[in-house]
Amino acid sequence: MPGAPGTYAARDEQERRVEYWCREYPHLVNDWRDSGGRVFRHTYFFPAEQYDKALVDRLAEHCHAGWGEIEIHLHHGVERPDTPQNTRRLIVEFRDTLLRHGCLSLWNGEGSPRYGFVHGNWALANSADGRFCGVDDEMQILSETGCYADFTLPSAPSVAQIGKINALYECSLPLSSRAPHRRGRDLRSGVPPSVFPLIIQGPLSLSFMKRRNGWPFPYIENGAVAELMPPTLKRLRLWRRAAITVQGQPDWIFIKLHCHGMDPRDRDVMLGAPMRLFLRQLTESVGSARQDRLHFVTMREMTNMILAACDGRSGDPNDFRDYRLRLISGLRHDGRCAETRAASEDPVRLTE
């Protein structure tokens, strides 16, 4: 509920918001296509602790129709520090629940489910001075339960923001340590990563685009899209200038944005004129610049392109949307998902 942190809208209001989004979103994006003919799509990081079958059913239907993908979000340790055991349980249970909804992906189409992750309140691996988490070895838990990449950062102006910015990398500190993503080895072309989850950051910089009393006024540009921060071509120039790339592959620039799309305060920006204007200007500007190509991607597709670059692949990134991580929904030829489970925390294996 806007203005009331920690409280939620009534159940019927939640249904109305999700239904409105799923109904209106295709009308918003359908006219604007990237260089490969794809529409602008969201990755919906659904909070594990707020799971509601009917809401996820509707959102999964929306995603299976081609308008996005669902991954894992988690708020925990809010009232008191969480424990590693409870964190693992929450993630595994929700991972397997999303699997039953036909969501998530498999590495090369095989094995146990893989997922992307965003930490609630930005406190990844207990990086917010002990608040909103409490689990130092959270990154180890993510690695062991199938997380292919974390998309939490940037978190500024939160205290959870780390010093390494505008980067794609693998953690170089032990995953069992607090905030191991504070240090990392930049991903490099020709050097496949070995430590997962990867850390995939969005742009972070200082902007002087706002004015106060006629003078430039500095603010943090962190890639957020919201009521007071609509997407614009001026902001796009800052996002591009961050130059988030795989080292040795400078012509592939990755721009990760974030929002709370169904917050009613942001509805006019996310589903109204500001987003329509941005998508129109963006696609038109790329169409008139022959040296540029635009690709609208989900976080899974972005990771696949990053992995392809790490393997030394080049050319059109569009060819690598399903390079390693392949949607479970695309592998289920009969529309059903067969599961076998030896124990509550064992990986789920799928058969066609």
pLDDT tens for the chain, residues 1 to 352: 888 877 899 999 999 999 999 999 999 999 999 999 999 999 999 999 999 999 999 999 999 999 999 999 999 999 999 999 999 999 999 999 999 999 999 999 999 999 999 999 999 999 999 999 999 999 999 999 999 999 999 999 999 999 999 999 999 999 999 999 999 999 999 999 999 999 999 999 999 877 777 777 788 999 999 999 999 999 999 999 999 999 999 999 999 999 987 889 999 999 999 999 999 999 999 877 678 999 999 999 999 999 999 999 999 999 999 999 999 988 753 333 333 232 333 333 332 2
pLDDT for residue 332 = 56
The amino acid sitting at 134 is: G
User: Do residues 350 and 339 touch, judged by C-beta distance below 8 A?
Assistant: yes
What is the rounded distance in angstroms from the CA atom of residue 326 to the CA atom of residue 221?
32
Amino acid at 234: K
Whether omega before 250 lies within 30 degrees of 0, making that bond cis, reads: no
Query: How many other β-carbons are positioned within 10 Å of the β-carbon of residue 64?
Result: 17
Extract the tokens encoding 297.
């991607």
Asked if residue 177 belongs to a domain, the reply is yes
Alpha-carbon distance of 88 to 92, in angstroms, equals 6
Question: Which residues, in sequence order, are CB contacts of 178 under 8 Å at separation 6+?
Answer: 125, 126, 127, 136
State both tokens at 292.
């540029």
Identify any residues that bridge with 45 across adjacent strands, giving them in sequence order: 71
Which residues on neighbouring strands pair with residue 70, listed in sequence order? Answer: 44
Domain contains 81: yes
pLDDT value for 338? 36
Q: Cβ of 85: how many Cβ atoms within 10 Å? A: 10
Determine contact, residues 142/150, Cβ cutoff 8 Å: yes
Give the angle subtended at the CA of 171 by the CAs of 140 and 137, to the nearest 5°. 25
**How many domains does the chain divide into?**
1
Residue 234 falls inside a structural domain: no
**How, if at all, do strands 205-212 and 215-221 pair?**
antiparallel
**Helical ranges in 273-339 per DSSP H:** 273-287, 299-310
Q: Which uninterrupted H or E stretch holds 278?
A: helix 273-287
Region of 224 (left: φ > 0; alpha: ψ -120 to 50; beta: rest) is beta
For residue 179, what is the DSSP state? S
Q: Does residue 120 lie within any of the structural domains? A: yes
Q: Which residues are within 8 A (CB) of 28 and not within 5 positions of it... i.e. 6 or more apart?
A: 271, 275, 276, 279
On whether residue 33 sits in a domain, the answer given is no
Cβ–Cβ < 8 Å for 223, 201: no
Secondary structure (3-state) at 118: strand
Q: What is the DSSP string of 180-233?
A: GGGSEEEPBTTB---SSSEEE----EEEEEEEETTEEEEEEE--EEBTTB---H
| Assigned domain for 9 exists | no
Assess if residue 34 is contained within a domain: no
Please give the residue range of the domain that contains residue 111.
39-202+245-259+291-351
In a domain, 59, yes or no: yes
268 contacts 227 by C-beta, under 8 angstroms? yes
Among 100, 90, 59, 14, smallest CA distance to 338 is for 100
- Residue length, the chain? 352
